[in-house]
Each structure stands twice: as C-alpha cells, then as structure tokens.
A and B are shown apart, each in its own frame.
Chain A
Amino acid sequence: MDYIVSINNNQSLPIKDIPEQAYHTFLENNIGMLKDNDNRHCVNYFGLQQESSVKLFCCIADDSIHQIYISSCVVNKGTTLNSFAKHNLNFEKFEREIHENFNIKYTDHPWFKPVRYSENRVNKAETIANYPFYSFDSEELHEVGVGPVHAGIIEPGHFRFICNGEQIMHLEIQLGYQHRGIEQLFLKKKSLLERTILAESIAGDTTVGHTTAFVNLWENLCGYQPDLGLQFTRTLALELERMAMHTADLSAMCTDIAYQLGSSVYGRLRTPIINYFQEWCGNRLAKSLIKPGTTNFPYTNDLANRLNQVFAAYEPDFIEMSTKLFKLPSALSRFERTGVVTLDEVKSIGTVGMAARMSGLNRDIRLSHPHDLYTTINHQPIIKRHGDVYSRAQIRRDEVKQSMGYIRSMIGNIPDFKKHDNPEFKPMPDTFSISLVEGWRGEICHCAITDSKGELILYKIKDSSFHNWLALAQSVRNNEISDFPICNKSFNLSYCGHDL
C-alpha cells in the first residue's frame, strides 16, 4: 500500500502514525515522489538506533502544497541495501551518513566517502587524519591540498584540488574537523536553557536561524502555541541576521577580488546591524535573544525608532556602494561566468536556499513552508538564472533590500508584548516533530523524536550547507584555481553547521 502521511511545518505526529514500510516500498515511494517533480525535495533522511536495528525516517517536502511527507522503515544494523542515491543523487550524502553511523552498506551507492568522522561512527579505526583522498595517476595533473587550517580567520576543512596547470579538474572537500557531537549533547543535556545554548552554537553565524528552528520545534513538541510577540521577535531577528550576513558576505567577496573600497564599506556597514542586535538583546550575534515560550527582550517603540534611524543611515550608503560595485568592469569580470552551477546540476545535487535560487530553482521556506510571521508576508523569493558568482552577489544585494522592506513594515505594527511566565514544557511521548526555517544561507531542518516518557531519543540537525557543499565543488570545475577563493566566499557555507 502506498500509504504515506504528510504534516505541515512545525507539526508533530505520533510515531505510530508514521507508516512503516518494507524497504523496497520505502525506496520506491520516496524516489517516486521526487521523480520529475521540482516542487519536492528531501529535507531530511536519517536513522534512529533501536537495539539491533535501525529505523530510517525520510522527510520529503512538497513546496506547492506546503506539506512534508514522512515515512519510515526498519532495517538491521550492518545490512546491505539498494541505495536511493542510484536513482536520485539528492540522497547520496544522507546515505553516506547512515553508512557512517550505522554501518548500513549499499550495493549501488556512488561513493562511501566519510561525511564527518563523527564520534558515534561505527568504524573508529579510520580517522580524519588518514583519509585517502581521491587521486589521479597522471604525469600531467597535479594536486593542491588546502587546509584544514586556512589562510585567514575561517573555520577548518580540507580542500584537495586536482589541476591541469591552473585549471581545476576536480575538487574534493573533506569536512568533519568541527565535529563537537552536538546531536548527542542534545540528548545528554536535559535542561531547556542548556539545549537553547546548544542550538545557538550549532552555527554561531546563524544563531537566529538555528535557535528559531529549535524553539519552534520544541514548542510544537510540547503543544505550546507561541503568541504574536514571540513570532514577531523570531521573524524580525531572522531578517536582521540575513541583512547582516549578506552585507558581510559582499564585503568578503570584494576582499577576494582585491576590491578594497567595497571590502571596507560593506564590512563597516555590517556593524550598525549587529550593534543593533546588541542594543536589543546585549549580544552582537543575537545569542540569548530567542528562547522557547518567552523572551527576556520585549520589543518596544523605542527600539523600532532606533532601527529606523539605523536603516536611514545604512540604506543610502549600501545603495551607493552597490550601484558602484555592480557596474564596475573589473569587479564584474571576476564575478560573471565564474563558478557556474547550472539548473540541472543544482536539481541533481538538491541544493537549497541561495544555492538553489542562484540557478533558477525556487526554493525558499519563507514561501513554501511559512512559519511565524511569514504566513502574513507575501514573500517573493529573489531568483537569478546564471548560477555564477554574480548571481550569488546579486541575490545578496536584492535580499538585503527586501529584508529591509519587510522589517520596516513589521516594526510599523508591533504586537503587544505581554509578560511571559516561563511555561512548563513537557514534550509529548512517542512523537515525531519537524521544523523548517529559511536561514540566511537557506533551509534549516530540525527533527526530534521522543520515547514513551517524553524524553528526547533523537535530535537531528540539518544545516543548508549539508546539501550545498557539493555545489561548491561542482562550481569550481574548469575554473582557474585562483578563482577558488571568490567561489568559496560566494557560497560562504558553514563548516560547524555541517560537522555538528
């Protein structure tokens, strides 16, 4: 029977209501749902350890009807299966993770490359230090290794290029250096404040994105309905974080094409936005702002007036700088047709967020699975077509302006902030819950499962970077190796969000 259940974003479901299918049905159903349908993609696919078996959960989002299909399947640990990835490459990394953590083997998976050398992996004999990189036996080609420590203040990861002269033939990215065992810690740390701090630390540059995903999931799992004030806080903070990081990225992209003026101006323009977070909540990256069921920092008219002042100073300088940058021939010659990923490629990889919208693929949780105040905003995603560095720069410029517009209309209509009385949170037993958020990079997905006592037995985090790193590797093929930094910066993917 093809029976499958679907839920909305931020909805919970008793585990017993999730259909448990035989593996071949599970495979056929999920692959079939994605076949020739760009409105659907896999938002999460993971395993839950159950004594000697593993229960696999697959979550497919349908953007056109705003639903998420959930199905499951129990398989033995260490068993051998046919892969999803053979039919749809979107699943290749999810299956590598399942292989790494549960030793499930696939007969026809393209490449069992380790995902992150996680602490809970099966094969501890293999370590990140002795990973055998893909290599060529050739006298013409040479290899360039970069990292894990990079030439700047950046997180660690290893990039291994295979080049023909200056031309990149292949880039292999190996991550895992940042692995802190964060999903395991979510189960070990029992207090809500500890878990909130963990969520803030998944990726410090996306504090608001990940913390919003966590609190929305948690409130939902506990049957708590956040009021308008809390929803307002989260939506406003998400859009401010997007503005700040997009501005910082434009600065970094200017740095990588040696355009000093753009680098300095965008760099300093980020400051008033993050300083505003400090005025609001005492922390420049909005740590401690978002909490389940309450906030220590109610929004006021004074704060709204301050933000209008900040924008009044920010906007003309941002527009002036952008007008200059986006018609500067020396900048455009580095941006245009550099690091191209085509529409077919992004569909095949299954990218999300900016890394999808850059190539004409309309993927934006704010539109497709709206939460908080996005249900009231008539959001129109910014879509570009060329999939190059230029498209990624344009998206940032346009989204900054768009977010500023959303924020201005939001703060013209501040909801009442009543006193929140730290509600008692009790998660529902034997329940599955999911939360999707459009962070500034793209889609964030958190999933949780509870046992019969309502204790967490699984917390699964997926940053948008989990999908998008492969798009970076694809983008640099046939580019000069000197263009790697600008390609990398134009994606600006998360290492810790990936490594967890």
Chain B
Amino acid sequence: MLDNLKIIFHQGKQFIPNVKTVEVPGIFRGRPVISTSKIDDQALKSTCPLGAIDINPVSINLGKCNFCGECAFKFPEKIKFTKDYKLASNTPEGLIVKEGIDKPIQLDESLIRPEIRKFFSGSLKLRQVSAAGDNSCELELNASGNVQFDVGRFGIDFVASPRHADGVVITGPISKNMATALQLTYDAIPEPKIIILVGVDAISGGIFANSSALDRTFLDRYKPDLYIPGNPTHPLTFINGVLNLLGK
C-alpha cells in the first residue's frame, strides 16, 4: 500500500493542463509557412517525394505531406515548419497551405453537419479501424488516451464495439484486404455517425498512393468529416482537431 502511494507520489503531475496552448518540445514539424521569396519552383516541387508541393502559387497539401522536412532542408529561405500542431480541417482544401499566408488552419464551420455538435459535443465514442496502417498513427492514438494527453477528460473515448460508437477513425491507406472489414465496421455504427481520417496514409494514400494492393473506394462512397494530417499524427493534433469539430 505504502509502495503504491510512493509510486503515485513520484509521478508528480503528468497531465497536460491545457492541450490547446501547450508547447511541444524540440523541433516538431507542424504547420509549414511558405515565404514569398523567389526560388527555383520546379526544383522545389520535385523535392517532394509525395507530390504534396504545387506551384503558382507555391503550396503544400498537408493531406499528402509526409512531414519529412526535406523541402525545408533544401530551401530553408522558402519553407519553414513551425511548431503549430493544429493541422486538422474538415475539407481537403483546408489542408492546403499557400505561400505568403501565415495563419492557423481552421475548420469551415458552415460545412460541419449540425447533428455532430448537437449529439456529440458532450460525449464522443469512436471506433478505430487500422486499414493497413503502419502502427505509427495507431500508437499515437493510443497515446492520446494516456495520463499525459488524457483525451478522455473531454468525453472522447475509443470503444471496443462499433455498436457503441458514434464514428470511425481510419488510419492507413486502406488495403484491398481490409476494405470489406472497414465497410462492415462502418455499417455497424448507428446513425448519426462521423468519419475521421488520421494520418497521411489515410487521407491521400501517402507513399502507398499508387499501390495496386489498395482499395480506397470507401472514400468515394462517404465523405469524411475531419482530416487530421501527420506521419504519424501527433496526439495534440488529433485532440485539437476533434475538439474543433465538436466546437469545444
């Protein structure tokens, strides 16, 4: 008993008091800022292994970005990754960062289905489906529930059964071999329900985008409510994205 109390005492305060304002340690690569300085645009574009960079004007699509930082190393005067971890949007267009514009990524409030905030702002139970995810985003989603990030404090939890869930969180590029299971899981969730894509692989296929082993037709049939970039997605990126969707 005394041992237990000692252990608990030695942990100190682990939880992050404010997950919206806390600063992440080190050199986190979050929202990029693109300057207006003139460089060889074509060379910049071809630097990106995932085709996330477009030109005229120069932009980075965070839904395709691997956050490897290669563009910033090659063109430091043009691209800088900031420590802003709030990267989620409810539209694919919202994930595109353009040159000369340094402002937070936001949700398009007018496109949030009214039932989402009506039903889920108090409690949101999610079913996670890893559809050929590489277990990096899965580890970070697990970390979102640990004593430090503690997403449970907002009434947001991952549950075991789709029947208990209000939505599905998809990681991975969606393999052919997982397409049926993903559909069955989604079907088993009662209405109203939401779809959240977590990580570059889920949003755009990432490095696997052109693999013939994928079947991404699920995303042709249903429109996701939230896109959360990252490779893997940082727990704070996930938590802030969902809180923004819920208006919390």
Contact = CB atoms under 8 A, between A and B. Distances in A.
Interface string B118-134: 00000000011111111
Given A149-B129, A154-B130, A261 B138 contact: no
B135 A275 contact: no
Given A177-B177, A180-B213, A296-B69, A320 B7 contact: yes
Given A151-B161, A280-B26, A324-B7, A179 B136 contact: no
A201 B134 contact: yes
B148 A268 contact: yes
A320 B12 CA distance: 14
A276 B214 CA distance: 34
Contact of A320 (B6, B29, B148, B231): B6
A38 interface: no
A148 B181 contact: yes
A265 B11 CA distance: 8
Contact of A181 (B50, B158, B212): B212
Interface string A264-283: 11011011000110111111
Nearest to B160: A151
Interface in A129-165: 129, 148-149, 151-156
B124 to A, nearest CB: 15
Interface in A267-315: 267-268, 270-271, 275-276, 278-285, 287-288, 296
Given A193-B49, A279-B25, A148 B135 contact: no
A211 to B, nearest CB: 12
A176 B128 CA distance: 18
A380 interface: no
Given A176-B177, A179-B177, A279-B25, A296 B142 contact: no
B191 interface: no
A153 B232 contact: no
Interface in B12-27: 14, 24-27
Interface in B177-232: 177-178, 180-181, 185, 201, 206-208, 210-214, 231-232
A126 to B, nearest CB: 12
Interface residues of B, number: 68
B148 A197 contact: no
A201 to B, nearest CB: 5
Nearest to B184: A149
Interface residues of A, number: 66
B246 interface: no
Contacts of B68: 193, 197, 287-288
A282 B207 contact: no
B175 A153 contact: no
Nearest to A496: B134
Residue from B135, B148, B185, B201 having most chain A Cβ neighbours under 10 A: B135
B11 A201 contact: no
B138 A283 contact: no
A494 B136 CA distance: 12
Contacts of A267: 146-147
A155 B7 contact: no
Contacts of B161: 151
Nearest to A148: B181
A282 B178 contact: no
Interface stretch (A48-56, A202-210, A427-435): A202-210
Contact of B175 (A178, A197, A285, A288): A178
B8 interface: yes
A185 interface: yes
A248 interface: yes
B154 interface: no
B197 to A, nearest CB: 15
A352 to B, nearest CB: 19
B130 A282 contact: no
Contacts of B162: 149
Nearest to A500: B213
A264 B208 contact: no
A321 interface: yes
Contacts of B148: 268, 271
Contact of B134 (A185, A203, A248): A203
Contact of B49 (A156, A188, A191): A191
A205 B130 contact: no
Interface string A390-432: 0000000000000000000000000000000000000000000
B70 interface: yes
A15 B29 CA distance: 43
Contact of B232 (A275, A276, A284, A321): A284
Given A179-B177, A261-B4, A268 B146 contact: yes
Contacts of B66: 197, 287
A282 to B, nearest CB: 4
Given A154-B138, A207-B136, A278 B24 contact: yes
B62 interface: no
Nearest to B137: A204
A106 interface: no
A316 B11 CA distance: 11
Nearest to B234: A284
A314 to B, nearest CB: 12
B25 A155 contact: no
A324 B4 CA distance: 8
Contacts of A17: none
A204 B27 contact: no
A118 B175 CA distance: 10
A264 B12 CA distance: 13
Given A261-B4, A271-B148, A321-B7, A119 B176 contact: yes
B166 to A, nearest CB: 16
Nearest to B207: A197
Contacts of A188: 210
Contacts of B135: 155, 203-205, 494-496
Contacts of A94: none
26 contacts: A119-B176, A127-B177, A129-B180, A149-B181, A153-B130, A153-B141, A153-B158, A177-B175, A178-B178, A181-B213, A185-B208, A191-B49, A193-B70, A197-B68, A198-B207, A201-B207, A205-B135, A261-B8, A275-B25, A278-B28, A282-B81, A284-B232, A284-B234, A287-B68, A296-B73, A496-B132
